[in-house]
Amino acid sequence: MYINSFMYAIYLNDIERFIALEKDLWIAHLSAKLLSSKLSICICDIGNETSITNYNCIQWTMSTPDLPTSTQYPRLIVSKESKLEYVGDPINTDMEVLKSHQQFCLLVLRIVMAAKMTDIVLNHADRKYFQSLLSSTDVVSSPDDSGIPNGFLHNIEKILYLQTSEKDILFHINEMFSDSTSIFPRNLAQYKSLFYKYLNA
Amino acid sequence: MHKFYYRQLDPNLRSFSKLFGKIVNELPEGGRFYFNLARSMRMGGENYMFRDGEWSDPFETIIHPQFCMPTYDKNFNLNFSDISDLRALDIKKIINDTDRPVMVQWSGGIDSTVSMVSLIKNLSTSELSKVTVSMSGDSLLENPNFYNNFIKDKFKIVNSENMLFNDYKEKYNAYCIGADTGDCMFGSELGNKLYPKMKFIQNDIDNLYHSVSSKDVDYTAYRSIIIQYFNDNLKNAALQLKQYSIFDKSLSEMLPGDEKFGEMFYEKIVNNIKTSSVPIYSLHDFFWWTIFSGRYLFCSLRGPIAYSVGTNKESLINDCLIQWFNTDEYQLWSMNNNNNGEKLTGPIQGLYKTACKKYIFEFDKDEWYYHHKIKIVSSPNIIKRNWRKNFNDFDPILGIDTDYNIVKIGTPNVDNYVTEQLMKFKIDWC
């Protein structure tokens, strides 16, 4: 059986340091895509290096001549030549701002995980996805039964992509769940309850 | 035969590779050096036309009057923000003096966002109504927050994916504002690519690594690193050419003597620096100079020449193109603001173009962009979307002559001329 002991790190090209870790590659990738409105990022496979944590990853770098340093679209770096290196805090960088941006990134990772979990548990009718595979335009389909226009997951992703502070993210998510005009108020309440359960787990 | 306002040699292009394939093994030392220089530069090829100092070239080049370098003045003291605000007044005048629209090429990157900020700050609502933003999906990806807050529903927008440069003039009779010479002001070209690799080239370089933009550490301290870097670029480029089966094998071969390429290139730049009138101190200055002086023409003119159709470029260059940073003030600012933190505060990506990012931040208050934005190279996107569609027009371009006519390789006259020039070119600097 394949045991995944690997960890993935979100690497900031601008400061050449890691900013957050995530065990699940797909969560890391989606989060990186959503953070790309604000950051130039790579995802690095850091294997089972246990010395690196979310508390100290800002002092670590991936040392390789191959990192794509000029990109807005996050990619996974799989490099045989790469080496993890402890190099200390980044130079000439406002550490207070950087720490607050790190908190933002960690929140995005948590929300993406909670949203995906909620979607997997509650969504049993992503008609829009299958319709797109059929290239069909005969009917108008919704991605879920949350009652949220364009779907729960899409809205969460939009909020994470566009908002620039933790406060604004939480405000807009709460606003989304408080839609008094929802066509499926019971479903919306279920989504809300499960999402916050996973977020605060 | 030809005098060029713009010329390029790019063995990565099919037309050039055909020609080089026939002659490359016959080239004497000087021609071989130029061929190596061309392949080591990869995309865009060799296109140096230094605006100051000695620079021997196989082809006769003349600096276009619009893009000459102003005389260095060490007393120039306007700051970046003032100059950027002043630049908008030039555009204001154009808008008010003509009834032609102004179209801004906005990539979402740092340089073109400076031009947008300046225009939004300094033009009236009615003047801004004459401004159209030319942008693509890549622009959205690069700066979604600026788009949402300052462009969406506020400007007319055209999709740059459907635009060749000549369309600005022929379809819209517009002036086209580009920010292609932003890199020339800030020096972010070869140097940026070297800094992350320095420790892989030489051990124990902590002090040198942190001093790339220090006036007290002369660029000559990096001599061996630069030479190795130039040699590595050549080797890697040759390897890349080898992967393309369409190219003649001779293009990817390394011959005896090629190992001297890095040193020859370095010494050629040093010779130019020593004969120029602008002071060069640090490693950053060294690389800044190669683009500020050496590739300014390429950066300025590649839009109307390499990303447009048509055989004569006079009206595009003289009556359509406005390079935002092509003013005496910006250039004098650039000559006077090396090694003081205005251009870079360290050898990592996020610390470049400090003055631009400050100017943008004072306007949009986007903390993320200010602290984290890095330079994203736009040219692969431009090539991806409209270069390939017009491959047969663009691929063989050697340059434009002083009558603004396109000169293309692939005809016996031009091919013979290129061959002759490379055959007789002599190394005269070391």
Structural domains in chain B plus CATH codes: 3-70+224-294+408-424 (no CATH), 80-185+308-382 (3.40.50)
In whole angstroms, give the CA distance from residue B153 to residue B142: 18
* A162 in reach of chain B (CB within 8 A): yes
* A73 in reach of chain B (CB within 8 A): yes
Which pLDDT score, from 0 to 100, does residue B1 have? 67
Look at residue A1 and tell me whether its pLDDT is greater than 70.
no
Burial class (CB in 10 A: 0-12, 13-18, 19+), B274: exposed
Q: Which alpha helices (H) appear in B79-136, and where do they start and end? A: 80-97, 110-122, 125-128
3-class secondary structure, B346: coil
Please, what is the average pLDDT of chain B?
93
Tell me whether residues A12 and B376 touch, CB distance under 8 A: no
Which residues in chain A are contacts of B192 at CB distance < 8 A?
69
Look at residue B142 and tell me whether its pLDDT is greater than 90.
yes
Strands A83-86 vs A60-63: parallel, antiparallel or unpaired: antiparallel
Nearest-by-Cβ selection for B348 from A15, A97, A101: A15
DSSP label at residue B152: T
Specify the range with the lowest mean pLDDT, choosing from A31-35, A123-127, B39-43: B39-43
H or E stretch at B32: helix B29-40
Question: Is residue A75 within 8 Å of residue A68, measured between CB atoms?
Answer: yes
pLDDT per residue as tens digits for the range B318-341? 999 999 999 999 999 999 999 999
In whole angstroms, give the CA distance from residue A182 to residue A176: 10
Nearest-by-Cβ selection for B376 from A12, A65, A71: A71
In this prediction, residue A2 has a pLDDT band, given cuts at 50, 70 and 90, of: very low
Which residues in chain A are contacts of B199 at CB distance < 8 A?
63
Tell me whether residues A162 and B349 touch, CB distance under 8 A: no
DSSP label at residue B405: B
Least Cα distance to A201 among A87, A99, A115 occurs for A115
Tell me whether residues B196 and A65 touch, CB distance under 8 A: yes
Query: How many CB atoms are located within 10 Å of the residue A126 CB?
Result: 17
* Probe site for chain B from A16, A69, A98, A159 (most B CB atoms < 10 A): A69
Residue of B nearest to A104 (CA): B368
Question: Is residue B245 within 8 Å of residue B14, measured between CB atoms?
Answer: no
In whole angstroms, give the CA distance from residue B280 to residue A12: 32
pLDDT per residue as tens digits for the range B104-135? 999 999 999 999 999 999 999 999 999 999 99
Q: Name residues 86-125 of chain A within 8 A of B (Cβ).
A: 90-94, 97-98, 101
Tell me whether residues A38 and B369 touch, CB distance under 8 A: yes
Question: Is residue A169 within 8 Å of residue A157, measured between CB atoms?
Answer: no
The Cα angle at residue A75 between residues A74 and A81, in degrees rounded to 5: 135
Which residues in chain B are contacts of A91 at CB distance < 8 A?
210, 346, 348, 351
Query: How many CB atoms are located within 10 Å of the residue B337 CB?
Result: 18
Least Cα distance to A70 among B184, B284, B348 occurs for B348
| Residue pointed to by tokens 């910006």 | B330
**Type of residue found at B177:** I
In whole angstroms, give the CA distance from residue B116 to residue B144: 14
**Which two structure tokens, joined as six digits, stand for B339?**
């090694």
DSSP string, chain A: -------EEEEETTTTEEEEEES-HHHHHHHHHHHTTT--EEEEE-TT-TT--TTTGGGEEEE-TT---S-SS-EEE--TT-EEEE--SPTT--HHHHHHHHHHHHHHHHHHHHHHHHHHHH----HHHHHHHHT--SS---S-SS-STT-HHHHHHHHHHH--SHHHHHHHHHHHHT-TT-S-HHHHHHHHHHHHHHHT-
**Complex confidence, ipTM:** 0.91
Tell me whether residues B368 and A38 touch, CB distance under 8 A: yes
How close B194 comes to chain A (CA, Å)? 10
Chain centroid to CA B27 = 28
* Probe site for chain A from B138, B235, B371, B375 (most A CB atoms < 10 A): B371
Tell me whether residues B371 and A13 touch, CB distance under 8 A: no
Nearest-by-Cβ selection for A164 from B141, B145, B200: B145
* A38 in reach of chain B (CB within 8 A): yes
In whole angstroms, give the CA distance from residue A123 to residue A121: 6
Which pLDDT score, from 0 to 100, does residue A3 have? 43
In whole angstroms, give the CA distance from residue B425 to residue B430: 14
In whole angstroms, give the CA distance from residue A64 to residue B199: 10
Tell me whether residues B349 and A14 touch, CB distance under 8 A: yes
Which pLDDT score, from 0 to 100, does residue A67 have? 67
* A161 in reach of chain B (CB within 8 A): yes
* A36 in reach of chain B (CB within 8 A): yes
* Probe site for chain B from A11, A16, A102, A157 (most B CB atoms < 10 A): A16
* A13 in reach of chain B (CB within 8 A): yes
pLDDT per residue as tens digits for the range B49-108? 999 999 999 999 999 999 999 999 999 999 999 999 999 999 999 999 998 999 999 999
Is residue B152 left, alpha or beta, with left meaning phi > 0 and alpha meaning psi from -120 to 50?
beta
Q: Which residue has the higher pLDDT, A122 or B243?
A: A122
Which residues in chain B are contacts of A72 at CB distance < 8 A?
138, 141-142, 376
Which residues in chain A are contacts of B373 at CB distance < 8 A?
14, 40
Question: Is residue A119 within 8 Å of residue A144, measured between CB atoms?
Answer: yes
Residues 6 or more apart whose Cβ sits within 8 Å of residue A200 = none
Average pLDDT over residues A113-126: 95
pLDDT per residue as tens digits for the range A37-92? 999 999 999 988 888 999 999 999 988 776 666 788 999 988 777 789 999 999 88
